[in-house]
Structure 1
Amino acid sequence: MKKYSIKDIARLSGVSVATVSRVINNNGRFSEETRKKVLSVIEETNYKINYSAKSLRMNKSFTIGILVPDIKNYFFSDLVQKIEEILFEQGYTTIICNTARNAEKEQAYLQILQAKGVDGLIIISGVEAFSMNAASSEKKIPYICIDREPQDKSKTIFISSNHYQGAEAATESLIASGAKNLAIALYNRMSSASRSRLSGFEETLKKHQLGFDAEKNSLRISSDDTINQELDNFLKNNPTVDGFFSTNDTLAMKLNSRLKKIGKNVPQDIKMIGFDDTPYGEYSSPTLSSVRQNTQQLAQKTVESLLKLMDSSTTLGETILIPVELIVRESSSRI
């Protein structure tokens, strides 16, 4: 089989080598007709792009590293998939690293990604503020933080759903549906997103003169293994609770399951709203009200911002908030 060069592709396409290069890199000016012609010749000749030579020539790896705390989590996996798809369309491959919420594993992955010469990093969620200082590298790698406060905002762009808005909408909806004694359910390990949701819940209660008491209005969960016991203890101490805002759908579903076992009905006895609007919430019994995050917009803004950051054509220190939407279903309906 003949091995074709970029000059052969240019000759067969009837264009210059520079034009073929622009089409391959999707950079510069060329017509749609020219693009189709060049790509057709590339497909017919089975021309292989030498990415190693291209990387050396442009001092780029065309690779982006993504750190995600839990790839099994629906919201994270959905967001990562959308980011990967958009980056692929832009000519970039991705290295996805599941840190399992482990700080040491995260640092190990950072060093590996730096050694591989990635062009940029996307950091998704996490309890601790993110800093690149812990991982040493001669090359300053541009990075974007999603739902995770950067330690130094002046060095990056912070992109987040508007968690405060989501918590506010959920709490308002629970109050409007008749709930008078509300509680927020959340894990002890709190990311910046969880803290914003707690703040939105607390401030909304205060706005309605319902007050906020940490003992009465917040169910703190230590781990998945202790949910049942901690819920039982909380309800024993706070028997009048008639509404839960859960900081994620998985926790809401586990609470709902336990409530059924102890004779509490949702929404008749206790109303429930979750966060993330994961698919199984729509098919649960009762169906779960939840706050929907716009993962497509989060992914699009992230990729756009990172590419601009890598091209030094944007301003550091920006915070971008993406609106959320409350989806009301059976679990919080008025009886």
Structure 2
Amino acid sequence: MAKLCDVSVATVSRVINNNGRFSEETRKKVLDVIEKYQYSTNRVAQTLRMNKSKTIGIIVPDISNEFFSTIVHEIESYFFEKGFSTFICNTDKSREKERAYIKSLDAKMVDGLICISGQEEIEASLLNRDIPIVCIDRRPRMKNNLAMIESDHFQGGYGATDHLIKKGCKNLIVLTKKSNLSSVNDRVEGFKKALAEHAYPFTDDLIVVTADDRKHNIEKARDAIRRELEKGRTFDGVFATNDWLALGVVRELIESGLSVPEDVKVVGFDDDTIAKYSEVPLTTIKQDIHQIAKEASEIFFNLLTDKDIQIADNHIKVPVTLVERQTT
């Protein structure tokens, strides 16, 4: 608050309490910032006294996504019980919206940020204060005052591919979205590792990429598989890096006259609700959403309440499990 006004904390306090000496220009500057960012004077005064706002910000790329929304709900519930209010900011995977939200949350004097997936880079220049940040499923380059919690995506990609091979698949592909996210890249690297361990050759064309799209788009997956089939390509195993892509694969294969899993076996990733209730229930890699939310909440709370805390492990990988259903 004081930085936004370009005055000292003591001056802001004098203006709010109308006590002491300050110019009319300073008074107007402070009150304009309070009005612009919709602070209540009671909350501002409390923040100045305690250097804490009892608020946190959550940056989420797609609140309609089941994985993200479940995590946000559990984190919000945890901090509500601890007496914190939560600002939830949905970015629609837009870099510009994320930047704007981070600046706004910093201006609102949140005590810390939880950033879920989205852009890899969190620009330190957007923050005027050194506040705790916990990242879920993203690896930003900044290191200070930061912890990261994610599923073991590499092991998930490896396990999915290993399962397909052990089920007899000889010609495998991985279907993924165009992305630079560490979580997606790790899943693909796990695919490569499993191929290598089974002495299956890897070539770049084994990675099939859908057209760029911000949402989990079944039609984009169908289009990508249709193109491969029209080229005369044959494959008997598909690892899709999320369940929506896997569902698109299954639908396109069936409409093309192929049987799942007799002709082609398919494994997805996430274990969204659709995996269990799709037309052919999906074999998939299950992320432990509840454990991710629990780890993130507890670490973040410790960072917020103990400025001197030293986290023994600030990069936590939560194990994943294979859930076998009818697509393999």
Gaps of 5+ in 1: 1-49
How many Å apart are 1:233 and its aligned residue? Answer: 1.8
Q: Aligned to 2:106, which of 114, 120, 127?
A: 114
Match of 1:30 in 2: none
Match of 1:7 in 2: none
Native 8 Å contact 1:82 1:295 kept in 2: no
Q: Aligned to 1:83, which of 57, 60, 75?
A: 75
1:174 aligns with 2:168: no
Match of 2:275 in 1: 281
Q: How do 1:151-166 residues align onto structure 2 when only pairs under 5 Å count?
A: 151-166=141-156
Match of 2:122 in 1: 131
Q: Aligned to 1:222, which of 208, 211, 222?
A: 211
How many Å apart are 1:322 and its aligned residue? Answer: 0.6
CA RMSD of aligned residues (A): 1.9
Q: Aligned to 2:254, which of 250, 260, 269?
A: 260
Counterpart AA for 1:218? I
Native 8 Å contact 1:150 1:158 kept in 2: no
Match of 1:18 in 2: none
Counterpart AA for 2:61? P
Q: How do 1:1-335 residues align onto structure 2 when only pairs under 5 Å count?
A: 54-126=46-118, 128-137=119-128, 139-215=129-205, 217-223=206-212, 224=217, 226-237=220-231, 239-310=233-304, 311-312=306-307, 313-315=309-311, 318-332=314-328
Native 8 Å contact 2:130 2:145 kept in 1: no
Counterpart AA for 1:99? T
- Which range is displaced more, 92-101 or 257-266? 257-266
- Which range is displaced more, 144-153 or 115-124? 144-153
Native 8 Å contact 1:156 1:317 kept in 2: no
- How many residues in Structure 1 have an aligned counterpart in Structure 2? 280
Counterpart CA distance in 1 for 2:142 and 2:155 is 24
Counterpart secondary structure, 2:126 = coil
Counterpart AA for 2:194? T
Counterpart secondary structure, 1:330 = coil
| Structure-1-length-normalised TM-score | 0.79
Counterpart CA distance in 1 for 2:313 and 2:141 is 11
